[in-house]
Structure 1
Amino acid sequence: MYKLQPKPVIVTLEIASADMEQFNTLRALHFPGHANYLEAHLTLFYRLPGMEAAIPEILQQYAQRPVMPLQVSGVVNFGTGVAYTLQSSMLQELHASLQKDFDPWLVKQDRHPLRPHITIQNKVTAFKAAQLHAQLTESFTPFDITAVGFGTWAYLRGPWKALDRFMFEER
């Protein structure tokens, strides 16, 4: 049961746990330990108001859908880290619809088009990021994963606290 709370809420796309194993393994190996508070994740919205009762209602409504395939399409170096990029027209349409419903509460960062990614390294030197990027790119082949729902999290100035999950329907 979702509980309203004063901290900002982060919304993630839940990925099948078997699909996340490889990302979590890479994150454990390459993310600096002092800054690795979280498992790998795909953030949809970075800051929604935790006291807004409509947010969980909207997520529950949108969860009434089948699981969604996503393609892991590439590896990107963003200067201080590395992430896997994802492609899905269904996810882009879903995110755009959620943006419309969340419009009154969106901060500037959450108004941008979604660039879905799963970060496996961050807060490192440009040299370390370039090394990992080259290593992962050398053997990369696109592959599919499955989105299975939404997760909500309270932001605690570093770590996140899990609040609730809104799971898609298995069809």
Structure 2
Amino acid sequence: MADDHDPDPLVLTLLLDADTQAWLDALRREHFPPERNLVPAHVTLFHALPGPELQSVLAALAEEARGFAPSDARIGPSRFLGRGVALSVAAPAMEALRARLAARWRAWLSPQDKQGWRPHVTVQNKVSAERARALHAELAASLPVREGRAEGLLLWRYRGGPWEPAARFGFTG
């Protein structure tokens, strides 16, 4: 794990159950431009927490994970992003968790992370609008909403493209 003096930002995502993760990774491999597909499919809670605050972030996540139980996450329907497609994620328990963390870390949050949370998994991005519209129409017509589980939190270091795993916290409450 990198030390507290590492300036690279931290990214926080949900840890999904293995079957849901495998399904989303397969969709992403199928539809995401391969040269841009540098990270696994993910539901981002925070895009840019400060790297030098690693120990504080780790302590907060360990505390939250201990008191939190795995919870339902509904994946779908598809959302058109203009030049890509995402699958919406409904995870009410995760909304409460994210709100608590956002309040705790308010002074650290980037403008993007201060905005309302709209959980999703991007399965296609940075393609032509026509290609994105076609995939959105295809998924809207053929992809049922799927039930999954949020089982924990994954913390990553953003390394200018790829992410490096920093910590994993399973929900144990």
How high is the TM-score relative to the length of structure 2? 0.93
From 123, 136, 139, the counterpart of 2:142: 139
Cα distance between partner residues in 2 of 1:3 and 1:148? 26
Q: 1: CA distance between counterparts of 2:90 and 2:148?
A: 10
Of the candidates 99, 102, 106, which is equivalent to residue 105 of structure 2?
A: 102
Within 5 Å, which residues of 2 pair with 1:114-133? 114-133=117-136
Aligned to 1:7: 8
* Partner in structure 1 of residue 60 of structure 2: 58
Shift of 1:86: 1.1
Secondary structure class of the residue paired with 2:52:
coil
Question: Is 1:2–1:56's contact at 8 Å kept on the other side of the alignment?
Answer: no
Give the direction of change, closer, same or farther, for the CA distance of 1:130–1:43 in structure 2 (3 Å limit): same
Q: Secondary structure at the match of 1:93?
A: helix
Q: Deviations over 1:47-66 (max 9, x none)?
A: 11111121110111110111
Query: Which letter maps to 2:59?
Result: E
Give RMSD over aligned pairs: 1.4
CA drift at 1:27: 0.7
> What does 1:1-171 correspond to in 2, within 5 Å?
3-4=3-4, 5-52=6-53, 53-64=55-66, 65-169=68-172
Letter in 2 for 1:130: R
Q: Which runs of 5+ in 2 are unaligned?
A: none
Q: 1: CA distance between counterparts of 2:117 and 2:36? A: 24
Counterpart contact for 1:3–1:163, Cα < 8 Å: no
Three-state SS of the structure 2 residue aligned to 1:110 is: helix
Partner SS for 1:51: helix
Paired positions, count: 170
Q: Letter of the aligned partner of 1:40 in structure 2?
A: A
Shift of 1:72: 1.5
Q: In 2, Cα distance between the equivalents of 1:56 and 1:107?
A: 19
TM-score by length of 1: 0.94
